[in-house]
Amino acid sequence: MRVGVFFQAGEPAVMDMVDRTVVVIDVLRATSTMVEALVNGAQGVYPAASTEEAIKLASSLGPEDTLLCGESKGLMIEGFDLGNSPREFTPDRVTDKRLIMSTTNGTRAFLMAEDADRVLACSFLNVGAVASAMGEAEEMVIVCAGREGRFAADDAVCAGTLLMRLQESHDGEIKLNDAAKAALELANKFRVGAEFLAMTDGGRSLVDIGFREDLDHCARVDRYDVVPEMEDRVIQLRSLGEADQPVSH
Per-residue pLDDT tens digits for 53-103: 999 999 999 888 999 999 999 999 999 999 999 999 999 999 999 999 999
pLDDT of 82:
98
- Domains of the chain in start order, with CATH, are 2-230 (3.90.1560.10)
pLDDT of 35:
98
pLDDT of 12:
58
pLDDT of 245:
45
- Distance from C-alpha of 151 to C-alpha of 202, rounded to nearest angstrom: 10
Per-residue pLDDT tens digits for 145-171: 999 889 999 999 999 999 999 999 888
DSSP string across 29-67:
THHHHHHHHHHTT-SEEEE-SSHHHHHHHHHHH-STTEE
Q: Is the pLDDT of residue 243 over 80?
A: no
